[in-house]
Amino acid sequence: MDYTRGLRAGIPIALGYLAVSFTFGIMAVKYGFSAWQATLISFTTVTSAGQFAGIQLMATPGLYLDMMISQLTINIRYSFMSISLSQKLDRRFRGIRKWILGFFITDEIFAVAVSQPVVSTSFFAGLATLPWLGWTAGTFLGASMGAVLPAAVMSALGLAIYGMFIAIVVPPAKENKYVMLAAGIAAAISIAFTYIPELSHISSGYVVSIAAIVAAAVAAIVKPVDDEPQDPEDNQKIMDDSHRNSLSGSTSDTDLTTQMGAVGKEAGV
């Protein structure tokens, strides 16, 4: 029952991943990868932004250190997400299950999972199944159709990834000026490394790391996040409600969407 509930919660994520990974497939072929290579990358990593940055560096031989630094910078957030989510895992969610299912941690999957009072193995497995398949299938479709679609369509679809990042940044930036500050700092640093002659020779891997670290550090110094303790009575109420929903299977997609929105608003993302 928990697995089915997780599957339902993962449907919106899977649809979004299908579209974005379609663009990744197109870009991978553009950088010289075959369709099966691009699909294998998505099948074995599921890192979204890390994959887009990775294929650019992989297309240039010898930039192994750059790739390591950029991937560590981009993907380190998954470690923090895992630590946070581990506080909500049930007692049976341990050992090899953590090792296997930890592979599926992404921003969106984390947002849904952390909104649950208790995360069971079956719920998380169901939540991760469709997004993983959607990300892999979208990559295959994009890579396979890349040779069929007209060049104009390919060029237009290549802009989808930028639209995704804009969609991620703009909504929270409208509510929190410090999000806009961090995004603006990162953009300014990236522009500086692109157009200033003395900096333009530095590889994109280092630029991504520098921009992310500096922007995050400035935002953290200017506006640190306050940890507000939750009311134990509220936590107990949520636990009881979740248990009843789990037994009755009555949790609706609308409830899950509301929970996702609440988590995003509280996290400021």
The model's pLDDT over 205-248, given as tens digits with 9 standing for 90+, comes to: 678 778 888 888 898 898 876 655 444 445 445 545 554 554 55
CB atoms within 10 A of CB 86: 13
Query: For the residues 75-83, what does the mean pLDDT come to?
Result: 83
Range with lowest mean pLDDT among 57-61, 109-113, 182-186: 57-61
pLDDT at residue number 26: 86
Write the CA distances from 247 to 3, 116, 185, 218, integer angstroms.
13, 14, 48, 46
Write the CA distances from 145 to 45, 52, 70, 141, 204, integer angstroms.
22, 18, 29, 6, 28
Write the CA distances from 172 to 116, 188, 205, 224, 268, integer angstroms.
22, 19, 26, 16, 6
Per the prediction, the chain carries an average pLDDT of: 78
- Scan for tokens 């870009």, then name that residue: 27
Q: How far apart are CA 225 and CA 4, in angstroms?
A: 35
Q: How far apart are CA 49 and CA 58, in angstroms?
A: 14
How does residue 172 score in pLDDT terms, banded at 50, 70 and 90? confident
Range with lowest mean pLDDT among 41-45, 130-134, 234-238: 234-238
Check residues 155 and 110 and name the one with the higher pLDDT.
110
CB atoms within 10 A of CB 72: 13
Cross-strand partners of 119: 89
Write the CA distances from 222 to 61, 137, 176, 188, integer angstroms.
39, 42, 13, 17
Cross-strand partners of 89: 119
Query: For the residues 125-133, what does the mean pLDDT come to?
Result: 93
30: left (phi over 0), alpha (psi -120 to 50) or beta: alpha
91 neighbors 120 (Cβ within 8 angstroms): no
The reported pTM is 0.64
The closest alpha carbon to 132, from 50, 39, 67, belongs to 39
The closest alpha carbon to 104, from 88, 118, 85, belongs to 85
**239: which 2 tokens?**
């636990």
Check residues 154 and 126 and name the one with the higher pLDDT.
126
Asked if pLDDT for residue 263 goes beyond 80, the answer is: no
Q: How far apart are CA 35 and CA 41, in angstroms?
A: 10
- Scan for tokens 């010898």, then name that residue: 62
